[in-house]
Chains A and B, each alone.
Chain A
Amino acid sequence: MDTIQINHLTKHYRGKDTPALNDVSLTISAGMFGLLGKNGAGKSTLMRILTTLDQATAGSIQMCGIPITQRAAIRAQVGYLPQNFGFYPTMTVSDALTYLAILAHVPARDQQRRIARLLAQVNLTKQARTKVKALSGGMRQRLGIAQALVNQPKVLIVDEPTAGLDPEERIRFRNLLAEFAQERIVLLSTHIVSDIEATTNRIGVLDQGHLLFTGTTAQLQTQAAGHVFASSLSVAELSAFKARYEISEQIVQGDTAHIRFLATAAMPGASTVAPTLEEAYLYLQSRPTRQGVRQ
Chain B
Amino acid sequence: MKLFWLEFKRFTTSLAFVLYTLVTVGFILLNVWPMIDRGLATAPVNPTARYDLITTTDFHALKTNALDQLKEEHADDAYVTYPFGFAKNVTLTAGAQVKVEQALNQARQADTRRGLEKALGPVDQLLGGHSDYQAANLQRFAVRPMTLAEARRDHTLIMRKDRITGTYARLFADIASIIVCILPTIVIIAYCYADRRAQIRPTMQAKAMGTPKWLVTRYAASVAGLLIPVLMTALLLLGRVILLYPGAALDYWAFFKAAGFWVLPTLLVSTAVGFLSDALFSNFTGFALQIGWWLITMMIGAHQVIGNYGWLLIPRHNSLHNVSFFYAHYSELAINRLGYTLLAIVFLGLTMVLMNLQREGKYRGFHLRPARR
Which of A's residues lie within 8 Å of B, judged by CB?
A: 48-49, 51-55, 71-72, 75-76, 78, 80-82, 84-91, 95, 98-100, 102-105, 108, 144, 147, 151
Q: Mark B199-212, 1 if CB is under 8 A from A, else 0.
A: 11011111111100
Does B36 lie at the interface of the complex (its beta carbon under 8 Å from any beta carbon of A)? no
Does B198 lie at the interface of the complex (its beta carbon under 8 Å from any beta carbon of A)? yes
CB-CB < 8 A to A85: which residues of B?
A: 199, 203
User: Contact: A78 with B2, CB < 8 Å?
Assistant: no
Tally chain B residues at the interface, Cβ within 8 Å: 23
- Contact among B194, B199, B207 for A100, CB-based, below 8 A: B207
- Contact among B200, B210, B360, B361 for A88, CB-based, below 8 A: B200
User: Contact: B206 with A80, CB < 8 Å?
Assistant: yes
CB-CB < 8 A to B13: which residues of A?
A: 90
Which of B's residues lie within 8 Å of A, judged by CB?
A: 2-3, 6, 10, 13, 194, 198-200, 202-210, 214, 359-362
- Contact among B198, B202, B214, B359 for A103, CB-based, below 8 A: B214
- Contact among B6, B208, B214, B361 for A75, CB-based, below 8 A: B208
CB-CB < 8 A to B207: which residues of A?
A: 75, 100, 103-105, 151
Q: Given A78-B206, A100-B207, do A52 and B200 touch, yes or no (CB 8 Å)?
A: no
Q: Given A53-B359, A80-B206, A104-B209, do A86 and B200 touch, yes or no (CB 8 Å)?
A: yes
Q: Given A88-B198, A90-B13, A104-B209, do A55 and B204 touch, yes or no (CB 8 Å)?
A: no
User: Contact: B206 with A52, CB < 8 Å?
Assistant: yes
CB-CB < 8 A to B10: which residues of A?
A: 88, 90-91
User: Contact: A98 with B203, CB < 8 Å?
Assistant: no
- Distance from B326 Cβ to chain A, minimum over Cβ atoms (Å): 45
Q: Given A85-B199, A88-B198, A89-B198, do A48 and B204 touch, yes or no (CB 8 Å)?
A: no
User: Contact: A147 with B194, CB < 8 Å?
Assistant: no
Count A/B pairs, Cβ under 8 Å.
81
CB-CB < 8 A to B210: which residues of A?
A: 72
CB-CB < 8 A to B361: which residues of A?
A: 48-49, 53-55
- Residue on A nearest B356 in the bound complex, by CB: A71
A-B contacts, 8 of them at CB < 8 A, read: A53-B202, A72-B208, A72-B210, A88-B200, A89-B198, A102-B6, A102-B209, A103-B214
In Å, the complex CA distance between A89 and B200 comes to 11
In Å, the complex CA distance between A116 and B200 comes to 22
Q: Given A80-B202, A100-B203, do A52 and B360 touch, yes or no (CB 8 Å)?
A: yes
In Å, the complex CA distance between A147 and B202 comes to 12
User: Contact: A80 with B208, CB < 8 Å?
Assistant: no
User: Contact: B199 with A99, CB < 8 Å?
Assistant: no
In Å, the complex CA distance between A78 and B289 comes to 39
CB-CB < 8 A to B202: which residues of A?
A: 48, 51, 53, 80, 82
- Contact among B3, B200, B203, B360 for A102, CB-based, below 8 A: B3
- Distance from A95 Cβ to chain B, minimum over Cβ atoms (Å): 6
- Residue on B nearest A159 in the bound complex, by CB: B202
Among all A-B residue pairs, the 8 with the closest Cβ atoms: A54-B361, A103-B207, A86-B199, A82-B202, A80-B206, A105-B208, A103-B209, A51-B206
User: Contact: A99 with B6, CB < 8 Å?
Assistant: yes
- Distance from B217 Cβ to chain A, minimum over Cβ atoms (Å): 9
In Å, the complex CA distance between A98 and B4 comes to 12
In Å, the complex CA distance between A152 and B342 comes to 40
In Å, the complex CA distance between A103 and B208 comes to 6
User: Contact: A103 with B204, CB < 8 Å?
Assistant: yes
User: Contact: B194 with A88, CB < 8 Å?
Assistant: yes
In Å, the complex CA distance between A100 and B206 comes to 10
B2, B199, B210, B361 interface centre (most CB from chain A within 10 Å):
B361
In Å, the complex CA distance between A51 and B202 comes to 9
User: Contact: B198 with A86, CB < 8 Å?
Assistant: yes
In Å, the complex CA distance between A99 and B194 comes to 15
- Distance from B349 Cβ to chain A, minimum over Cβ atoms (Å): 20
- Residue on B nearest A91 in the bound complex, by CB: B10
- Distance from B216 Cβ to chain A, minimum over Cβ atoms (Å): 14
CB-CB < 8 A to B206: which residues of A?
A: 51-53, 75, 78, 80, 82
In Å, the complex CA distance between A56 and B209 comes to 22
